[in-house]
Amino acid sequence: MKKRNTVLAVVLAAAMMVGLVGCGGSGNNNNSQGSSGSGENNGNGGQVVSAGGSDLNVMLETPVESLDPQQATDGTSFEVIACFTDGLMQMDAHGTAVNALAESYEISEDGKTYTFHIRQDANWSNGTPVTAADFVFAWQRAVDPAVASEYSYMLSDIGQVVNAEAIIAGEKDKSELGVTAVDEKTLEVQLNVPVSYFLSLMYFPTYYPVNEEFFNSCGDVFATSPETVLSNGAFILDSYEPAATAFHLTKNPDYYDAARVQLPGLNYQVIQDSQQALMSYQTGELDTTLVNGEQVDQVKDDPEFTTIGAGYLWYVSPNMGTVPELANENIRMAMTMAIDRDAITNDVLKDGSKATYTAVPMDFAAGPDGSDYAGDQSRYSDVCAYDTAQAAEYWATGLEELGVSTLSFEMVVDADDAPQKVAQVLKEQWETTLPGLTVTLKVEPKKQRVEDLQNGNFQLGLTRWGPDYADPMTYLGMWITDNNNNYGLWSNAEYDAIIAECTTGALCTDPEGRWARLYDAEKLVMDEAVIYPLYTQCNAEMMSSSVTGVEFHPVALNRVYKSAVKAK
């Protein structure tokens, strides 16, 4: 009996201890950490006020995937990398490329050689100067097959840097890349053909420099902690761990343009739950946050509510290659004309997204005269507009040509919230306007949807494309014969010829002529209803009225904080 009692006592005591120690232990831990932590914060706060402002608190939807400029591929990572790294050029508030690490540059007469002169006062945060060799090292990494950078095509297909393509394919050594360090501060770049938008590529993180010596000293863990990244930009990363949910950057006092940087630091917080994000904004923990479609009604009258262009074009891709019914042009025309795009943006999305009637979306590419390429949305109104009568006519003709009275299609859709809602509305609009049509939706995880589209394993696909650089070619390049992203397997020799002319042909050195020719190409896409454009995506955001000067861009770097000011 006695023994039993002891055992019982021990068990019970142990059970309780587990509970208490678990919580109590953390309590102790926290108390000490908490007090020292808040002490530091107060300290910071004090300094900060004297410096004229406090840290900007920014919300991210997803964690950073990589801080390695040659490995990163997502907008979140690009934004953070650009906070602490400058490239040769940077974007001004309007997205135009202006000098950053490059003090000046020369372009040869044939447009194929760029010579950049790097600023004398540009230094890495460990004190070593930023040199031309840092760029050569980084660019060679970007095309090195051993690194397998997903954005290597920024140098080959898009940048047209000499030998990039052959190096990526493993046919040449990376040392043969068309980029050389003439001297410590002079970088020379050779291109295959003149690239009209080449300067704007210089602010894309794939083109950012990496210090070779530092890189080698980090071994396999380059860019995974504050100790393994070097800054040459406006901020310095001072707390970070891989896939962190919260991290911090502080102003770089040795930045060559430090006078411009007003913020003492940046506080990043990853919040994946939209309700939590909005509440944190409302309590003042965040200065800016994303708002999802369902929350828009709740906050749309708030003066701090704003919508910001995200650049993405959402469209439906009909599979013309393997679905005979969709190879019929009248059927496609009927479908694109039966879509009420305004209803989708105004009643479903409500986030400021803009109904789009062109194959190239709005507000990301300005022409030689400075106007938006897709500014005129009625350019193709004869073939792309909401016109149910016209749609029904095309539909009847199409059905007659096919010799059928009913058709049914399946559309693949991402499992995310917004695309599913849009697809549901599309289905209703089509089935209402086009008699005899049945559309079924196949909801898939995004990765699977992309694979199905790329493999041609679909009938209709609801998909999107974001611009990689500020030129219509980032879209128009997709629909050439055999392009990986020409999901519908459309092929038109005339179109291919125009695109070739504008990328590697005679029009490379004639910006106005090229611009006009790009419209010819787009017209072909629209005339044959190769895609059904839907809308240009906007993001609904809350932005504190005390914050000004945050620059938003649809291309490359979505948010830039160099000129941001936070009052208070």
| Residue 368 within binding range of other proteins, rule CB under 8 A | no
Chain residues 203-232 in contact with other proteins, contact rule CB under 8 A: 220-221, 224
What three-state secondary structure class fits 73?
A: coil
Of 64 and 195, CB closest to other proteins: 64
Chain residues 247-276 in contact with other proteins, contact rule CB under 8 A: 269-273, 275-276
- Pairing, β 532-543 against β 354-355: antiparallel
Shortest reach from residue 488's CB to other proteins, in Å: 14
Judged by CB under 8 A, which of 463, 486, 503, 558 binds other proteins?
463
Of 124 and 465, CB closest to other proteins: 465
Q: Which of 524, 151, 525 is nearest to 315 (CA)?
A: 525
Stretch that binds other proteins, among 242-250, 256-264, 491-499, 540-548 (CB under 8 A): 242-250
Question: Could you tell me if 264 and 566 are in contact, meaning their C-beta atoms sit under 8 angstroms apart?
Answer: no
Q: Which of 164, 163, 165, 162 is nearest to 194 (CA)?
A: 162
Chain residues 107-166 in contact with other proteins, contact rule CB under 8 A: 145-146, 148, 150-153
Burial class (CB in 10 A: 0-12, 13-18, 19+), 489: middle
Of 19 and 303, CB closest to other proteins: 19
Q: In this structure, how many other beta carbons lie within 10 angstroms of the beta carbon of residue 389?
A: 8
Q: Tell me the residue ranges of DSSP E strands in 219-304.
A: 235-239, 246-251, 265-270, 288-291
Of 123 and 149, CB closest to other proteins: 149
Stretch that binds other proteins, among 4-12, 376-384, 395-403, 435-443 (CB under 8 A): 4-12
Shortest reach from residue 136's CB to other proteins, in Å: 22
Binding mask 503-542 toward other proteins (x if CB under 8 A, else -) reads ----------------------------------------
Shortest reach from residue 374's CB to other proteins, in Å: 20
Of 157 and 510, CB closest to other proteins: 157
Chain residues 161-200 in contact with other proteins, contact rule CB under 8 A: 168-169
Shortest reach from residue 430's CB to other proteins, in Å: 24
Binding mask 411-450 toward other proteins (x if CB under 8 A, else -) reads ---------------------------------xxxxx-x
Judged by CB under 8 A, which of 13, 29, 98, 417 binds other proteins?
29
Shortest reach from residue 258's CB to other proteins, in Å: 27
Of 204 and 395, CB closest to other proteins: 204
Total residue count of the chain as it appears in this document: 568
Q: Which of 310, 291, 287, 288 is nearest to 299 (CA)?
A: 291
Shortest reach from residue 475's CB to other proteins, in Å: 13
179: left (phi over 0), alpha (psi -120 to 50) or beta: beta
Residue 82 tokens, joined: 């650009």
Shortest reach from residue 250's CB to other proteins, in Å: 16
The vertex-137 CA angle with 92 and 161, nearest 5°, equals: 65
Of 168 and 391, CB closest to other proteins: 168
In angstroms, the CA 565 to CA 41 distance is 20
Judged by CB under 8 A, which of 104, 120, 282, 432 binds other proteins?
282
Chain residues 33-72 in contact with other proteins, contact rule CB under 8 A: 33-34, 37-38, 40-41, 62-66, 68, 71-72
Residues in binding contact with other proteins, number by CB under 8 A:
79
Q: Which of 133, 232, 246, 223 is nearest to 184 (CA)?
A: 133
Of 50 and 283, CB closest to other proteins: 283
Roughly how many angstroms between the first and final C-alpha of the chain, as a whole number?
Answer: 70
Alpha helix (H) residue ranges in 52-88: 75-84
Of 334 and 411, CB closest to other proteins: 411
Q: For residue 201, how many C-alpha atoms fall within 13 Å in the half-sphere facing its CB? A: 23
In angstroms, the CA 176 to CA 183 distance is 18
Shortest reach from residue 203's CB to other proteins, in Å: 18
In angstroms, the CA 175 to CA 132 distance is 14
Stretch that binds other proteins, among 24-32, 113-121, 126-134, 406-414 (CB under 8 A): 24-32
Of 153 and 305, CB closest to other proteins: 153
Shortest reach from residue 18's CB to other proteins, in Å: 6
Per-residue H/E/C for 515-534: HHHHHHHHHHHHHCCCCEEE
| Residue 246 within binding range of other proteins, rule CB under 8 A | yes
Q: In this structure, how many other beta carbons lie within 10 angstroms of the beta carbon of residue 490?
A: 24
Question: Could you tell me if 462 and 419 are in contact, meaning their C-beta atoms sit under 8 angstroms apart?
Answer: yes
| Residue 242 within binding range of other proteins, rule CB under 8 A | yes
Chain residues 465-484 in contact with other proteins, contact rule CB under 8 A: 465, 468, 484
Q: Which of 191, 213, 215 is nearest to 202 (CA)?
A: 191
Rg of the chain over Cα atoms, rounded to whole angstroms, equals 27
In angstroms, the CA 312 to CA 477 distance is 15
| Residue 298 within binding range of other proteins, rule CB under 8 A | no
Judged by CB under 8 A, which of 371, 381, 454, 457 binds other proteins?
454
Any long-range contacts for 504-507 (C-beta under 8 Å, 24+ apart)? 504/160, 504/192, 504/193
